[in-house]
Amino acid sequence: MNVVDVQNVVKKFGEVTASNNITFNVGQDRIFGLIGPNGAGKTTMIRMITNVLIPDEGSISIFGEKISYALQNIIGYLPEERGLYKKLKVIEQLAYFGQLKGMTRRNAIAEGRMWLAKLDAADWANKKIEELSKGMQQKVQFISTILHKPKLLILDEPFSGFDPINTELLKSIILDLKKQGTSIILSTHIMEQAEQMCDDICLINNGQIILRGSIRDIKGDFSKDTVILEFDGSDDFLNELSGLKIINKTTNRLEFRFNPNELDAKTILTTIMKYCNVYKFEIKEPSLHEIFIDVVSTEEDKK
């Protein structure tokens, strides 16, 4: 059984179609990436899954049941727009959110203190939210989302505002939750995060799905046309290989893409070796970021 089943969903706001016949499934114990540029329709889709908005057409089910308020206690939702009560102490805040999700006050406080300690925040328990930094507040918001041990966790831009250290900490917790059996929808416009964490993705642009499937299958479907080159000597070979698209260039390292219909790897390598010593010539799959740029650009060119 799929955890989430979205079928032919349409949502309009006046003349704007935010979701245009969207269909996808979220599998058990997997991280599903709902990705796309800002304004693509990701948050609208999430709000329909969480029953904040009602689809104009189509259907949404969770664990085989039609979406309803009765399912809210098995869902944890971290919205992009954070919202905490500024005057409440942290532990009181967590107790309140836990009770809203069906926990007893005692259990909510115990779980809250456990998570605060896990996130190096045990000393914040009796501080008011307004006394905390933005990063600290976001940790509290995240704890309030997972406190009741939801079966389905929905995270809308969860790393926004976190420094690199806390971003890595949050990633490790999310991956641990997956291992423990939590199914996760991760909404992001940052492709590196999706590539690192997601099993499956659905790329939405202008309210429409333009790419969908497992990360492994999607990357396998795209040409292996990206080369990482490490060399010593002249880079005059670039004048002879004018068809290369430079991705990143430093003194002795070059990352580029080539058109397989115009050039082949053997010809490129032979040409380069006429000008310099080659220490590394690696052909790799394109990153999800590169695929994203290609697919979105192609869609825009069709208009």
CATH number of 173's domain: 3.40.50.300
Tell me what pLDDT residue 146 has. Answer: 97
Main-chain dihedrals φ then ψ at residue 106, nearest 5 degrees: -60, -45
The larger pLDDT score, comparing residue 118 to residue 286, is at: 118
Classified as helix, coil or strand, 50 is coil
CATH code for the domain of 232: 3.30.70
Residue with tokens 């995240």: 142
Tell me what pLDDT residue 225 has. Answer: 83
Tell me what pLDDT residue 300 has. Answer: 66
Predicted confidence (pLDDT) at residue 126 exceeds the cutoff of 80: yes
CA atoms of 250 and 254, how far apart (whole Å): 6
Q: C-alpha distances in angstroms, 112 versus 95, 147, 159, 239?
A: 7, 7, 20, 61
> Do residues 228 and 269 make contact, with C-beta atoms less than 8 angstroms apart?
no
Predicted confidence (pLDDT) at residue 168 exceeds the cutoff of 90: yes
Written as six digits, the tokens of 53 are 């908005």
- Please name which of 109, 44, 114, 38 lies closest in space to residue 79, comparing C-alpha atoms: 44
Domain presence at residue 299: no
Domain presence at residue 209: yes
pLDDT of 42-99, one tens digit each?
A: 999 999 999 999 999 999 999 999 988 888 899 999 998 778 888 999 999 999 999 9
Percent of the chain with pLDDT over 70: 98
Main-chain dihedrals φ then ψ at residue 282, nearest 5 degrees: -115, 125
Length reported for the chain: 303
Written as six digits, the tokens of 189 are 């416009």
Tell me what pLDDT residue 83 has. Answer: 80
Q: C-alpha distances in angstroms, 186 versus 78, 117, 191, 287?
A: 10, 24, 11, 18
Task: Kindly give the pairing relationship between strand 253-257 and strand 245-249.
Answer: antiparallel
Tell me what pLDDT residue 303 has. Answer: 62
Domain presence at residue 292: no
Q: What is the full DSSP assignment across 154-187?
A: EEESTTTT--HHHHHHHHHHHHHHHHTT-EEEEE
Q: What is the dihedral of CA 225, 231, 237, 243, to 10 degrees?
A: 20
Residues 134 and 243 in one domain: no
**Enclosing domain of residue 42:** 4-219
31 band by pLDDT with thresholds 50, 70 and 90: very high
CA atoms of 292 and 297, how far apart (whole Å): 8
Residues 111 and 14 in one domain: yes
First to last CA, the chain: 38
Domain presence at residue 296: no
Residues 253 and 143 in one domain: no
Total count of domains within the chain: 2
| Mean predicted confidence (pLDDT) in 30-42 | 91
Domain presence at residue 137: yes
pLDDT of 174-229, one tens digit each?
A: 999 999 999 999 998 888 889 999 999 999 998 999 999 999 898 877 767 889 99
Classified as helix, coil or strand, 44 is helix
Residues 31 and 148 in one domain: yes
Residues 128 and 68 in one domain: yes
Predicted confidence (pLDDT) at residue 294 exceeds the cutoff of 90: no
Residues 165 and 228 in one domain: no
Residues 91 and 137 in one domain: yes
Region for 18 from its dihedrals, namely left if φ exceeds 0, alpha if ψ lies in -120 to 50, beta otherwise:
alpha
Torsional sign, CA 37, 41, 43, 46: negative
Residues 241 and 139 in one domain: no
Mean pLDDT for the chain overall: 91
CA atoms of 186 and 40, how far apart (whole Å): 15
Residues 195 and 243 in one domain: no
> Do residues 151 and 3 make contact, with C-beta atoms less than 8 angstroms apart?
yes
- Please name which of 170, 107, 167 lies closest in space to residue 142, comparing C-alpha atoms: 170
301 band by pLDDT with thresholds 50, 70 and 90: low
Predicted confidence (pLDDT) at residue 242 exceeds the cutoff of 70: yes
